[in-house]
Chain A
Amino acid sequence: MITYALYFAIGCFALALLFNLYRVVRAPGVTDRVLALDTMAVDAIALLVLFGIWEGTAIFFEASILYAMTGFVATVAYGKFLLRGDIIE
């Protein structure tokens, strides 16, 4: 049963990544692109954790922690740049 649920969840997040990629390529404004990139990082974390369940190893958690941190810092840096035209004033 877990196997089928894993298939379903991996399919959902893969499709979600494709939606995000579409939004990165074709977006009406630059904030939408940044938001789509942020969501891509979040979906990548979910895919890494699902692959960890699939393989039965806990080794992917470090990678997902790194994804979470760099994704957040990247989004804040983009947001700051859009707000002020500069990142560290």
Chain B
Amino acid sequence: MDLFWEILISALLVIGGFFGLVGSFGLVKLPDPMTRLHAPTKAATLGVGAVLIASMIYFAAFHDDLTLHELMITLFIFLTAPISAHFLAKANMLRNVDRSTLTKPEGDGDWAVFTPLSDTSAEELDEVAEAEDDEAR
């Protein structure tokens, strides 16, 4: 049974190392900022997840010490990686992308990055509320 656990842990470690390396290599290799976002947020996250699960199985199998810390870190990274990628994509849209080359979102209005939110004054908010009331009637 020990051999089975050893093979499983080694496989997870090799997969994790490979994907971590691919993620960082993609960061150097890929041609433009939006595609460069893909490599670390997907491949590197998967690599770290594999390493963490290998660590969890190792301590459960060889030290009789099953802890769920690693699972917690894995979940945390899997939850936060898309959020940071979304923030960086928005920042990149605002700073580097020409607005006229972007496709418009569905409905009227522009992408949320380009519409002022916190700078809207109270009168404007009242006008919007009144317009919505009119539409409701």
- Give A residues with C-beta under 8 Å from B: 1-2, 4-6, 8-13, 15-17, 19-20, 22-23, 28-32, 34-36, 38-39, 42-43, 45-46, 49-50, 52-53, 56, 58, 61, 64-65, 68-69, 72, 75-76, 79-80, 82-83, 89
State the interface size on chain B (CB cutoff 8 A): 54
Q: Is the CB of A53 within 8 A of B44?
A: no
A12-B18, A68-B77 known; A43 and B44 CB under 8 Å?
A: yes
**B residues adjacent to A (C-beta < 8 A):** 6-7, 9-11, 13-14, 16-18, 20-21, 23-25, 27-28, 33, 36-37, 40, 44-45, 47-48, 51-52, 54-55, 58-59, 63, 65, 67, 69-70, 72-73, 76-77, 80-81, 83-84, 87-88, 90-92, 94-96, 113, 118
| B21 lies within 8 A of A72 (CB) | no
The answer to whether A79 and B13 touch across the interface, beta carbons within 8 angstroms, is no
**Structural contact, B48 and A2, CB atoms closer than 8 A:** no
Q: Which residues of B contact A23 (CB under 8 A)?
A: 24, 27-28
Cβ contact within 8 Å between B9 and A31 = no
Residue contacts A-B, CB under 8 angstroms, 15 given:
A16-B20, A20-B24, A38-B40, A39-B24, A42-B81, A43-B44, A45-B77, A46-B48, A53-B55, A68-B77, A68-B80, A79-B84, A79-B90, A82-B94, A89-B118
Interchain CA distance A29-B37 in the complex, whole Å: 12
Is A1's CB under 8 angstroms from B94's CB?
Answer: no
Q: Is the interface of A mostly helix, strand, loop or mixed?
A: helix
Question: Are A75 and B91 in contact, CB atoms less than 8 angstroms apart?
Answer: no
Determine the residue in chain A with the shortest Cβ distance to B45.
Answer: A42
Known contacts A45-B73, A65-B72; is A6 also within 8 Å of B20 by CB? Answer: no
